[in-house]
Amino acid sequence: MRGKRLYTNSLRDLFYLSLPTFLSFFLQNLYSLVDIFWISKLGTDAIAAISLASIATFIVFTLSQTIAVGTTAYVSQFKGKKDWDNIREFSTQSL
């Protein structure tokens, strides 16, 4: 993805860039679905508990993705400026 390809208006490029995020969310939901399948053998109370836990897990996952995207944007800007001190600071704080 070098050169002018980043500046085109291509749906194919957008799909290519969003594929890792899509796969990550898909696998997280698939994991929750498999949990519900196996827990369903224990009864409705167990299904309710795992469903609630899945929602909490999804919220934490979404917040961590948000922090990761924000950190990546700032670290990229600082790397372009060769500001190594701020790179270390932002990377450490995001962890």
Output 61 or 42, whichever has higher pLDDT.
42
- Measured from the Cβ of residue 81, the count of other Cβ atoms closer than 10 Å reads 9
Contact between 54 and 28 (Cβ < 8 Å): no
pLDDT value of residue 45:
92
Is residue 93 over pLDDT 60? yes
Output 14 or 80, whichever has higher pLDDT.
80
Give the residue-averaged pLDDT of 38-67.
88
pTM of full prediction above 0.85:
no
CA pair distance 9, 82, nearest whole angstrom: 30
Is residue 63 over pLDDT 80? yes
Output 94 or 22, whichever has higher pLDDT.
22
Q: Provide the domain limits for residue 17.
A: 3-94
Looking at the structure of the chain, the number of domains it has is 1
